[in-house]
Amino acid sequence: MTAASYAAVDWGTSSFRLWIVSESGEVLAERRSGEGMTTAAKTGFSGILESHLQAVSAPPHLPVIICGMAGARQGWVEAGYLDTPAPLSGIVKAAVTVPDANRDIRILPGLAQRSEEMPDVMRGEETQLLGAISRLGSGSHLVCMPGTHSKWVRVTGGIVDGFSTFMTGELFDVISKHSILSHAVADGGAFDGNDPVFLGAVAKAAKNPALATNLVFTVRSGQLLHGLTAPAAKARLSGTLIGLEIAGALSTAKAGSSVCLVASGSLAALYQSALSALDLNPVTIDADEAVRHGLAAAANAIWPA
């Protein structure tokens, strides 16, 4: 059997993912759980990590490289932020070591944009970017990383010039659950990115972003006056928020930037469809692969063979 070289962990707010990686870069084992920072802050980071390492019979001294919220102030050990403009390779040098651990555990920092006008932070996405950078090539790129807090990153030749967070995913969630629209979207099955209601909402919000919170209300009025179904209500809400996000992100881009989408699964399909509807044809990079590649790049730099 190939020997394990290191463990790689993507530790988000509400998710934990671990891969055991061989010297040749092969994934020997994988673990996924909902023990994100929120849980770990209560029950202990070390215990969760060791239980997953034990579950895959990891050697006692296997080193561990971690990205994400484990490095937040309210996480395990604060890993701070690298300030933009920042070379992506800099995050490896700024990794912090977990003190008093039985093995070598490093946590990668996030990125901070300290502008008074447009302050912004990310944790975890910088490692995805590091993993995606070899696919981007030279020139200026606008990299879309959709999610609870979508990040749009302006990258030129391995340097992060700046970035913008849009609260799209979280707004979809709190509006669906806690606003008057909750009745309209309740029990609505899934919709897909080719749904004309979704694409129509993307186009409308991108064309006149100022009407965003009015378009959101048409989910309610559309239900009252036109019997808008629950899946269509969800599609309209999602499309409005995503169209608004894309219009905003484009307004921050350098002229001539190429658009790149770093995403996985249904979110990748949704954004691919929305971007295409707006005549943007992004290169798509799988986000799961990107974070593994980024953690591998960090591990290989910290523990060279």
Asked if 128 touches its own copies (CB under 8 A), the answer is: no
Asked if 56 touches its own copies (CB under 8 A), the answer is: no
How long a stretch of residues is the chain? 305
* Residue matched to tokens 């990115």: 193
Q: Nearest CA to 113 among 69, 154, 169, 78?
A: 154
3-state DSSP call for residue 1? coil
User: Helices in the chain by DSSP H: which ranges?
Assistant: 37-43, 45-55, 90-93, 125-136, 168-178, 182-185, 196-207, 212-226, 230-250, 265-277, 287-302
Q: By CB under 8 A, name the one of 43, 214, 266, 281 that touches its own copies.
A: 214
Asked if 226 touches its own copies (CB under 8 A), the answer is: yes
Q: By CB under 8 A, name the one of 47, 119, 157, 196 that touches its own copies.
A: 119
Contact 277, 270 (CB under 8 A): no
Which part of the chain contacts its own copies (CB under 8 A), choosing from 133-141, 204-212, 268-276, 289-297? 204-212
Asked if 166 touches its own copies (CB under 8 A), the answer is: yes
Q: By CB under 8 A, name the one of 84, 127, 128, 164 that touches its own copies.
A: 164
Choice between 65 and 72, CB closer to its own copies = 72
Which part of the chain contacts its own copies (CB under 8 A), choosing from 28-36, 53-61, 176-184, 292-300? 176-184
Per-residue contact track with its own copies, 241 to 270, x per CB under 8 A?
A: x--xx-xx-xxx------------------
The number of residues that bind its own copies (CB under 8 A) is 45
Q: How far apart are the first and last CA of the chain?
A: 18
Reply yes or no: is the peptide bond before residue 85 cis, omega within 30 of 0.
Answer: yes
Choice between 5 and 176, CB closer to its own copies = 176
Q: Angle 287-302/125-136 helices, nearest 10 degrees? A: 90
Asked if 137 touches its own copies (CB under 8 A), the answer is: no
Asked if 112 touches its own copies (CB under 8 A), the answer is: yes
Contact 145, 286 (CB under 8 A): no
Question: In 10 A of CB 298, how many CB atoms?
Answer: 25
Q: How far is the CB of 53 from its own copies (least distance, A)?
A: 30
Which part of the chain contacts its own copies (CB under 8 A), choosing from 58-66, 138-146, 172-180, 284-292? 172-180
How far apart, in whole angstroms, are the C-alpha atoms of residue 106 and residue 157? Answer: 26
Q: Where does this chain bind its own copies (CB under 8 A)?
A: 112-114, 116, 118-121, 149, 164-168, 170-171, 174-175, 177-180, 208-214, 216-218, 221-222, 224-226, 241, 244-245, 247-248, 250-252
